[in-house]
Amino acid sequence: MNIDQIIINLEKQHPGEVEYFQAVREVLESIQEIYNQNPQFESASIIERMVEPDRVLIFKVPWVDDRGQVQVNLGYRIQFNNAIGPYKGGLRFHPSVNLSILKFLGFEQIFKNALTTLPMGGAKGGSDFNPKGKSDGEIMRFSQAFMLELWKLIGPETDVPAGDIGVGAREIGFLYGMYRKLARENTGVLTGKGRGWGGSLIRPEATGFGNVYFANEMLKTKGEGFSGKKVAVSGFGNVAWGAVQKATELGAKVVTLSGPDGYIYDPDGVSGDKIDFMLELRASNNDVVQPYATEFGVEFHPGKHPWEVPCDIALPCATQNELDQSDAKHLIDNGCICVCEGANMPSTPEAVEMLQQSGMLFAPGKAANAGGVATSGLEMTQNAMKISWTAAEVDKHLHGIMKDIHQQCEYYGRVNDQYVDYVKGANIAGFLKVANAMIDQGVI
Ligand code: NDP
Ligand code: 2IT
C-alpha cells in the first residue's frame, strides 16, 4: 500500500477536505503492515472501497425564523459503510459543518462502531445550522424541515442517526416527531430518544461514562486509577458532562471546563450543583463557558485551552483538533499520565505523536468515546425487543463493552511489555472486522 499515493488520489478527487485526509492517513498508517501481509485485501481493493462513502446526500433545508424570514441551510447525510450493520452515526448542527468534517466523522465511525462488538455500520450527517441564540420554535422548525428530506433515506434497519455537537435530546425529539408523522411508524429510527418514548437509560451519560471507563482500564495497566487524581476536561457539552460525573464519582477532581471562548479553572473541582449548572449552561443556547466562572467565582482564561493547567489525566471532550503540539508539551511537562479522547479526533497528528513518544497512556476517540454509539446500539436492541432495561443493566453492558474495546486495542496495539499503541490497536481491530465482512460478502 502506498499511503502517499492514496492521499494524493483523494486530494485530486476531493480537493480541500483536510480533516478527512487527516483521518484517512491515520488509519492507513496504522493498518499498513497488516494490509501488506494479507494480499486478499489488496486484490479486493478494500482500501479504495473503504475510503469512499457508499453515498453522500446533500440537500437544502429551507425554514422560517421568528421574524418570518426564510432561511436556507445545507443538510447532509453520509452513508459510509454498512458491511457489518445498518448505517449508524450522529448528526451535528454547527456552523463549521462541511463535507470534509462530516466525511472524517463518518469514516471514523466505521471503525468505532466495529469496535463496539455490535452490528453497526458507519455514517454521519448534520447541517451548518447554528443552534446558538435560536428560540425553541426556530430549532423545531429547522429540525422538522431537515427531517422532511432526511426521512426518505433512513429507517430502523437502514440508517439510524443520533446526536452529536448541537444535537441533543430536544433536537432528537423534534426530528423523531416529524419522522413518526411522515413514516407512520414508531420505531428505533433515531437513538438518544426521550426516556418516555423509546430512549434508553444511560444514553445521555454514555459517551462520558464510557470514556472514563476506558481511561480507567488504561490506568489499571499501570496500577493507577482515578481516585485522588486531578483531571482537565475540555468542552461543556454532553460528553464533558458525563465524563465529569463519572470521574468525580471515582474520586477524581475535575478542575477545568472549556468553550470556544476559553476555559474555567475550578481548583475545588466541578462537582454536585456545579455539574447541574453545566447542563443548564448547555441548554441555555449560549456558546460560552464564562458564566460558570461568574456563577462560582473561579478563574476564567479567555481564548486559551485548558491543557496548560497541571493535571494527571486529560479528557478532551469538545471538538476536533483542539489539542495541538504546544498543548501536548504542556501536558507532558506537567507530568500528565493519561490523555483519553472523549471528542472525535481532538488531538492533532503532531500532538498524538508527541504524547505517544512521551510514553504516556494515550487513547484515540474512536476507541475511547465509543460508549455513546455502543449505548445507541443498546437502545436499538431494546427498541427491537420492545422492552427497556434498567439503568444498572445498560451500565453493565456499557462497562463490559468498554473493557472489550480496551482488550482489542491491547491485543493489536501492544508494542512491548511497557507500551500499548492504542491508536494502532483500535485502527487494526476495527479495520479487520469491516474488511473481512466486505470480503465475505463479495464485490457490491
Ligand atoms: P455538545 O454540543 O453537547 O458539546 C460540544 C461542546 O464543545 C460545547 O460545549 C461546545 O461549545 C464546545 N465546543 C465546540 N467547539 C469548540 C471549540 N472550538 N473549542 C472549545 N469548545 C468547543 O456536543 P457533544 O458533547 O455531544 O460532542 C463533543 C465531542 O464528542 C464531539 O467531537 C463529538 O463528535 C464527540 N462525540 C459525541 C458523542 C455523543 O454521543 N454526543 C459520542 C462520541 C463522540 P459551543 O456549543 O458553544 O460551540
Ligand atoms: O460520534 C459519535 O459516536 C456520536 N456522535 C454518537 C453516534 C450514535 O449513533 O450514537
Q: What is the DSSP string of 180-240?
A: HHHHT---SSSSS--GGGTPPTTHHHHHHHHHHHHHHHHHHTTT--STT-EEEE---SHHH
Instruction: Tell me the pLDDT tens digit for each residue of 198-219.
Output: 999 999 999 999 999 999 999 9
Asked if the model's pLDDT at residue 79 lies above 90, the reply is: yes
In angstroms and rounded to an integer, the radius of gyration of the C-alpha atoms of the chain is 21
In the predicted model, what is the mean pLDDT of residues 81-87? Answer: 98
Alpha-carbon distance of 80 to 77, in angstroms, equals: 9
User: Is-contact 414 420, C-beta < 8 A?
Assistant: yes
Ligand 2 atom having least distance to the Cα of 113: 3
Distance between Cα 235 and ligand 1 center (Å)? 6
User: Is the pLDDT reported for residue 412 higher than 80?
Assistant: yes
pLDDT for 287? 79
Specify burial of residue 2 (Cβ count, 10 A radius: 0-12, 13-18, 19+).
Answer: exposed
Q: What is the pLDDT of residues 108-164, one digit of tens each?
A: 999 999 999 999 999 999 999 999 999 999 999 999 999 999 999 999 999 999 999
Q: Which ligand is nearest to the CA of 347?
A: 1
d(C-alpha 175, C-alpha 173), whole Å: 5
pLDDT at 285 over 90: no
DSSP code of residue 306:
G
Does the pLDDT value for residue 2 go beyond 90? Answer: no
> What one-character DSSP code corresponds to residue 369?
T
User: Which cell goes with 281?
Assistant: 449552561
* Residue 207 contacts residue 366 (beta carbons within 8 Å): no
Sorted by sequence, the CB contacts under 8 Å of residue 369 that are 6+ apart come out as: 112, 207, 210, 211, 239, 341, 342, 343, 344
At 20-32, the pLDDT tens digits run 999 999 999 999 9
% of the chain beyond a pLDDT of 90: 97
Residue 97 CA to residue 389 CA, distance in Å, equals 35
**Phi, psi at residue 51, to the nearest 5°?**
-80, -10
Neighbours of 43 (CB within 10 A): 9
Q: Is 408 left (phi over 0), alpha (psi -120 to 50) or beta?
A: alpha
264 Cα to the center of ligand 1, angstroms: 16
Predicted TM-score (pTM) of the model is 0.97
Beta strands in 44-172 (DSSP E): 55-64, 70-81, 87-93, 121-127, 159-162
State how far the alpha carbon of 89 is from the alpha carbons of 154, 177, 211, 309, 394, in Å: 12, 19, 17, 33, 19
H helix runs in 264-390, sequence order: 273-283, 290-296, 325-333, 349-357, 365-368, 370-385
Give the H/E segment covering residue 155. none
pLDDT at residue number 286: 76
Provide mean pLDDT across the span 323-334. Answer: 98
- Residue 282 pLDDT level (bands cut at 50, 70, 90): confident
| Catalytic residue set | 124
Q: Which atom of ligand 2 is nearest to the CA of 376?
A: 10
**Domains contained in the chain, CATH given:** 3-185 (3.40.50.10860), 206-358 (3.40.50.720)
The secondary structure of the chain in percent helix, strand, coil, rounded to multiples of 5, reads 50, 15, 30
- List all residues 6 or more positions away from 284 whose beta carbon is below 8 Å from its beta carbon: none
User: What is the residue whose three cell numbers read 481491530?
Assistant: 429
Single-letter amino acid, residue 174: F
| Lining residues, ligand 1, CB within 6 Å | 163-166, 207, 235-239, 258-260, 282, 287, 317-319, 322, 342-344, 369, 372
Question: Mean pLDDT for the chain?
Answer: 97
d(CA 373, CA 382): 14
Residue 373: what pLDDT? 98
* 180 Cβ neighbours under 8 A, 6+ residues apart: 186
- Find the 17 Cα to ligand 2 centroid distance in Å: 21
- Residues written for the chain: 444
pLDDT score, position 365: 98
Residue with C-alpha cell 445498560? Answer: 394
Number of helical H runs and strand E runs in the chain: 17, 12
Give the residue whose CA is nearest to atom 41 of ligand 1: 164
pLDDT tens digit string along 348-357? Answer: 999 999 999 9
pLDDT of residue 103: 98
